[in-house]
């Protein structure tokens, strides 16, 4: 054990015993009898607890005389995390959808492997992550653009048909969104999540807005022409159900907070 250990020893051992991927990168597990260190999720047979040592990171394990497991490749965790973070940045800054092959090539992985890696780290596929960001841009563009057609292309859609295929996730028609929610009744609640308080607002059509760190005042800015009301008990229960589903999707806790938040929102609106 090192002084830099980020979690309690018993918690680390329990995570190792259940092969919990969420703890990969938070520590490594060394086996004294084999002189090998592993990720917590390593699929190898578990050694006797008396033969296990916990280290904060691979460097500490190597300094202790251990070598990396060739099965779970614990030294690759940081590289994998950096690759996913780069891919999310590529998706966020692209003017058009980025093909999986291009994302994988930039990261130095085969496409099928990177697809699994991305989903394991964020809880959603690269395509689902990209759709969530594109919808956020579309919502903002509908607020700013003079015409719906302008908003479609400003948001990065290649054609109106793709936009209208996904427009149901706006919670109202694009025209109503552009008019500030005129004619719509929007109900809202603040739901607690592992990433902080989440403002969740919906119409009878579905989620109209979801954001971390916002209050109902933000809704009045987004939808100045809509009727905005606090949700009732049934609405709060439905919000809690949606949040529980998104919480059940594993995410790498060491990814940047904005990436984890966008991934959470993508899981919340999973399609």
Q: How far is CA 34 from the centre of its chain?
A: 36
Query: Where do the CATH 3.30.160.70 domains begin and end in the chain?
Result: 126-268
Q: In the CATH scheme, what is the code of domain 126-268?
A: 3.30.160.70
Q: Please, are residues 38 and 58 in contact by the beta-carbon 8 Å criterion?
A: no
Instruction: Please list the rounded mean pLDDT of every run of 10 residues in the chain (271 residues).
Output: 60 92 88 95 93 92 95 89 92 88 93 93 92 83 76 73 71 87 95 95 92 92 94 94 89 86 88 52
Q: Which helix or strand (DSSP H or E) is residue 208 part of?
A: strand 206-212
Show the CA angle centred on residue 12, arms to residues 10 and 16, nearest 5°.
115
How far is the CA of 168 from the CAs of 59, 96, 135, 271, in angstroms? Answer: 49, 20, 10, 11
Q: Which fold has domain 9-72?
A: DNA Methylphosphotriester Repair Domain (3.40.10)
Query: Where do the CATH 3.40.10.10 domains begin and end in the chain?
Result: 9-72
**245: Cβ–Cβ under 8 A, 6 or more apart, which residues?**
267, 268, 270
Active site members? 38, 42, 69, 72
Identify the residue whose tokens are 């990209």. Answer: 130
In the chain, count H helices and then E strands. 12, 8
């Amino acid at each position: 054990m090192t002084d830099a250990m980020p979690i309690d020893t018993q918690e680390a051992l329990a995570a190792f015993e259940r092969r919990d991927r969420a703890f990969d990168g938070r520590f490594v597990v060394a086996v004294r009898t084999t002189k090998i260190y592993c990720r917590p999720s390593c699929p190898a047979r578990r050694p006797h607890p008396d033969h296990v040592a916990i280290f904060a990171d691979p460097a500490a394990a190597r300094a202790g005389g251990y070598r990396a497991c060739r099965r779970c490749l614990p030294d690759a965790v940081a590289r994998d995390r950096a690759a996913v973070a780069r891919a999310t940045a590529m998706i966020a800054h692209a003017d058009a959808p980025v093909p999986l092959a291009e994302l994988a090539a930039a990261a130095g992985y085969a496409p099928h492997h990177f697809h699994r890696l991305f989903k394991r780290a964020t809880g959603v596929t690269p395509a689902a992550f990209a759709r969530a960001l594109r919808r956020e841009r579309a919502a903002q563009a509908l607020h700013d653009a003079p015409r719906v057609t302008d908003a479609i292309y400003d948001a990065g859609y290649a054609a109106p048909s793709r936009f209208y295929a996904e427009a149901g996730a706006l919670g109202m028609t694009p025209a109503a969104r552009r008019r500030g929610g005129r004619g719509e009744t929007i109900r809202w609640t603040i739901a607690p999540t592992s990433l902080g308080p989440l403002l969740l607002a919906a119409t009878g059509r579905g989620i109209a807005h979801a954001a971390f760190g916002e209050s109902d005042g933000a809704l009045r800015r987004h939808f100045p022409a809509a009727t905005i009301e606090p949700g009732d008990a049934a609405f709060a229960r439905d919000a809690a159900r949606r949040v529980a589903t998104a919480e059940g999707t594993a995410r790498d806790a060491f990814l940047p907070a904005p990436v984890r938040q966008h991934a959470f929102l993508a899981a919340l609106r999973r399609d």
